[in-house]
Each structure stands twice: as structure tokens, then as C-alpha cells.
Chains A and B, each alone.
Chain A
Amino acid sequence: DTGVSQNPRHKITKRGQNVTFRCDPISEHNRLYWYRQTLGQGPEFLTYFQNEAQLEKSRLLSDRFSAERPKGSFSTLEIQRTEQGDSAMYLCASSKQGTDTQYFGPGTRLTVL
């Protein structure tokens, strides 16, 4: 049984650099979500895909953020020109259409120096 996987688990970058994270959902899960969690807070919704279509984006997702799910399987989240305020845990979750449960991956912890 393979759950949601995320890579890398940790990323340290300098301010102004671009970073890309990958999420592999549970197979046959057609919905995929990205959340961001800062220290001491609950996760905040960023964006959501159904198959390859990006159906909703939070206003938290500035123009520097872009997410894709080109073939309806894995997804990538790219942050351009990173800022120190982008430091957070980026969580991916997936769910199967017709069910409510979202299964979360272990997250990618981003540190922007």
C-alpha cells in the first residue's frame, strides 16, 4: 500500500531562487490538493485539481506560485523568486471522487535563507 509521496522532503534555498516540489498521489485518486502549513498553524488550502484540471486556487497562491498536474497523475508546485515568507511545510493530499477523506503526504519543508 503506497500512500501519498512527496519529494524532496526538505529543501533549503536562497531568497530569489526557484524551487519545485513533486507530489505523487495514491493511485486511482483523481483529486489532488496542495496546502501550506507554517509553524504552529493549521494547514491552509492553496489549490486543488480534479484529474488534470486545476479547479480552484486560493488567493494565498500569488503569481510566483504555479501548480500543474499534466497527466492527471503526479503534480508539481513551483515557487519562483522565493521569499523568506515562503518558508513553510508544503503538504499534498489526494482523494478519490465520491469520497471525502483526503490522505496527506509527509510534506516538503522549505527553508528560504
Chain B
Amino acid sequence: EAGVTQFPSHSVIEKGQTVTLRCDPISGHDNLYWYRRVMGKEIKFLLHFVKESKQDESGMPNNRFLAERTGGTYSTLKVQPAELEDSGVYFCASSQEGSRFGELFFGEGSRLTVL
């Protein structure tokens, strides 16, 4: 069974440009999460989808970040316009409905470098 896949694995962009990160969760997983790790800091929650609906987006830094999950399958996270402080590793995770709290399956992350 395929795990959580993320694309691209690494993206380097200029400040002010736009980047879109994609996450394909494990098939059948209704819960999809985005987390971010900024250099030297802890991994932090960004938002949570249940199917196509946003359950909690309290961790989104500001309105330059837009997350979507079309049809309750894959998700995208767009950063527009990107700023230097957006650099970091963006992780996607998924879990089945009803799974034990915190038993998430993570992707390998998308590393974003903003120059």
C-alpha cells in the first residue's frame, strides 16, 4: 500500500513568487493534516481536513497560505506571495476516520526554500 506522498520534495523560489505543494494521502484516509517545520523549531500544526472540509485551520500563519482538498482526495497548499520566513519543511499526514488520536502517517515532506 502506498504511503503519504508529497510533491515536490524540494522547491527553491524567489521572494514574492508562488509555490503550490501537493499531498496524496493514503487511500481511504478521510483525515488529512498539514504541518510545518521551520529551521531549528518544532513541527507545528497548520490545518486539518476531514474529507473535503476544513475542520481546523487555526495554525495557518496568514492569508498568504491557502489549502484545498478537492473531492476529499489529494490536497494542495499554496503560498502566495512567498516570504523568506516561509522557508521550511511542510509535512502532510493522514489517518483513517476513527483512528486513535495521533496515529498519523506522515509523508517525507516538501522542503521550501525562499530566497
A complexed with B: no
